[in-house]
Structure 1
Amino acid sequence: MADEVQALTKAFSGLGGLGVDETTMVSTLAQWRKQPEKRSGFRKSFRGLFKEHGVIERCEDEYMLHLAAEFSRFKNLMVLWAMHPWERDARLAHHVLHQAHPPAIAVEIACTRSAEDLLGARKAYQALFHHSLEEDVAFHAKDKPYCSLLVGLVSAYRYEGPKVNEDTAKAEAKALGAALKKKEAAAVENGEVVRILTTRSKPHLVETFKHYKELHGKHIHEDLGSEETLIREAVQCLAAPEMYFSQVMEAALREGADHHGKEALARVAVTRSDVDMDGIRAAYQEQFGARLEDAVAACAHGHFKDALLSLIAGGK
């Protein structure tokens, strides 16, 4: 009896982790049929979900909200997976803008999609919400110092060929260095920084950041202060997306990760599964000394875990 109760408690995600173990729950329904005393024992032992209230054990409202989120993880992942990528990105961006979330997801969409896919997401956004993505970003970020940068990023249509002008890349590396050394204004408000990050091709930016390190002895993100989070995210997404996404996944899997952090797990698994997931797994191994699929298996439960592993590891 004690083992069965413990298994069911874990299935309800009462012992931590992400998602719920649907298989155990369904099995328990069959095994405990016509055994109300077992359900009563479960309620009495599961103090996170139930609390004595007179002659009954009452469900705690706060934990019910937690369970609703955990039950919905698999559903939400599958809905994201089934959507057309352009609609998915449009809905993700709209949710961020209208739920007062940090702008990281908008930066991801703007900086890690191809020019055609970002254009497609903007078209989908207009069709779904009857506003342009650019105007909604401009409105919701109008009082933020990063407004011009974020509008420029979501509006971009970058050249995607391999050609890079080395002299221009070197000159712009110097310009970025000069902008970051200025203390009177934040780099995110510097017009030259915004121009370079929002218009140049990704191969050009990779070369520019390489020259920046040669000139200044460190990566550009190391010269960005704690208040320059959005520029740091943009730089990583543009030049090293696999490293960026591996860090997002690691943060989502940490004990104590907040709601936004946990939601990133499904988002990254779905949006990167057929793009650069092999590279993300390699970057995770290099940075954190563990396999990403092992970390997910240790943290997630049930169908949500199985779906995540299918997207992250595939047949490997």
Structure 2
Amino acid sequence: MSVVGLANQTLTTPWLIDVVDKFTSMVPDDVCACVRDIYRRNVRRNDRLFAQLEEAVAAMNDRGVTPVLLKGAATLATTPYGRRGVRLMADLDVMVRPEETERAVAALTAIGYEIPDRSRSAGQRWYVELNRSCDVGAIDLQRSAPGPACFYRDFGHAPDHCRLAQLGRGTAYIPTPTFQALMLIIHDQFQDYGYWLGDIDLRHLVELRDLNYSAGGIDWAELTSQVSGKLMRNALESQLLALAELLGVDVPLSLRSRFIPRLQFVRRLMQARFPVTRVPLLAITVLDLGNYRREAAIEYASKRSHGSWSMPSADTLQFLLGKAVGVRAGKV
């Protein structure tokens, strides 16, 4: 029951179908029935999401827009039908070029989508959420990859790391497994603040494992060669260390042996086992504060010196403390 409870907490329950099918005689009947029912329901839900994605891509193509599918949308488009039900998905993440955003929004509203939410200020990351009452998930339209732009500056344009794929009567860009891995890591570690908070997103670790075993797999040399800055290197290796230690993925030893990533991994395990340690272990964030400030200064061309060490601001500490003690879906 602890395994099922952890799977429910981390949104990985459908992946237990592999255990249930392989070890049916060793798993209690009620657990088998529960996992199979959840898996069947998720297959039906993801089938509807796939049909929704095909329709949306075709509508944008009709307006001259070829979108890039991100995260779950990319996984949905490339996963064999027999494996489509293992991933729980909340929405469809789609990226378009800045000059294509108005056409993309017009294409989607023309087929019935409404806009319940969108970015409000010029300094905020641009996004538009679109949904319809007949669908099981929203479309999250973006014009940049997830997370701070400074972490992608050596990768160039996203379509350069994608292939064109047919979806029904439409076409979309699908990122390579290596680029998908980079986006998942940046999303977890920085957009979701996992690196600062010491969270483990097991669902995304399982996705990284599956990406590595997919056709082409993750090119470790390419992944690391495109990473610039000490902060991103520490975050990347922290995630790869967790991938190797928790899921047995054969990550090169050179990418899981440095001190700060190993310290972060120990911290993550400690917090998962003993949640009361989450607040005191926030102190570990200061190890990379100087790296963050230097790299943010490069990104925003700030003239202010960020090289010297100092404590985080009171607002930053309050924000991180609130996240550390709050309940975050899918995180441990």
**Scaled by the length of structure 1, what TM-score is found?**
0.31
Higher-Rg member (1/2): 1
**Larger relative strand fraction:** 2
The structure showing larger relative contact order (alpha-carbon pairs under 8 Å, at least 6 residues apart) is 1
